[in-house]
Amino acid sequence: MRILMVCLGNICRSPLAEGILKHKARQRGLDWWVDSAGTGGWHVGELPDQRSIDVARRFGIDITDQRARQVRPEDFERFDLIFAMDRQNLQHLQQMTSRPEHLQKIRFLLDVLYPGQEREVPDPYYGGPEGFVQVFRLVEAACERLLEEHRPQ
């Protein structure tokens, strides 16, 4: 599986999603390709937000190898699934392509847990550290379910 996690800045939510899914896939011996990107370009080249680095580290995951990048047109070819954290991310992704085979790759990450409910991973950027713990827990539960669904038979 090749999976792209997408948020707005690629410094808070999607770096956590990338780090968590990579960690869990590796633990299961799965050869998954996982990356993340932002719909916006303000933070390109930056490390993840310190609050994301801290919460990941608390749960034993190092995300300091990541640098922010923006979503690119070729991402729609290179990945099997493209997960948006919130509705704004999802709509931005949908506006980047008109091809049905690309559009069908785009999902809400939390649809893995709550199909059809269009639930969002809340943007923690302007809040306190507890928001990052909430993001971590939501994303971790979704990644766990994703791996269960794709367990080798």
Q: Which residues are tagged catalytic?
A: 7, 13, 123
Percentage helix, strand, coil for the chain under 3-state DSSP, each rounded to 5:
45, 15, 45
Closer by beta carbon to ligand 4NP, 32 or else 125: 125
Stretch near ligand 4NP under the rule CB under 6 A, chosen from 1-9, 72-80, 96-104, 145-153: 1-9
Question: Residue number with the shortest CB distance to ligand 4NP?
Answer: 9
CB of 120 to ligand 4NP, least distance (A): 11
**Is residue 123 close enough to count as binding ligand 4NP by CB under 6 A?**
yes
Q: Give least dist CB 106 to ligand 4NP, A.
A: 16
- Span near ligand 4NP by CB under 6 A; candidates 5-13, 25-33, 59-67, 106-114: 5-13
Per DSSP, the three-state class of 105 is coil
Does 9 bind ligand 4NP (CB under 6 A)? Our answer is yes
**Distance set, CA 21 to CA 37, 41, 56, 57, 109 (Å):** 14, 23, 12, 14, 12
Which residues have a Cβ under 8 Å from the Cβ of 149 and sit 6 or more positions away? 112
Interaction of residue 84 with ligand 4NP, rule CB under 6 A: no
Residues 11 and 126: their CA atoms lie apart, in Å, by 13
Q: Which amino acid makes up residue 54?
A: D
According to CB under 6 A, which one of 5, 13, 55, 139 is a site residue for ligand 4NP?
Answer: 13
Evaluate whether 95 touches 81 at the Cβ level (below 8 Å): no
Provide the binding-site residues for ligand 4NP, judged by CB under 6 A. Answer: 7-13, 42, 123, 125
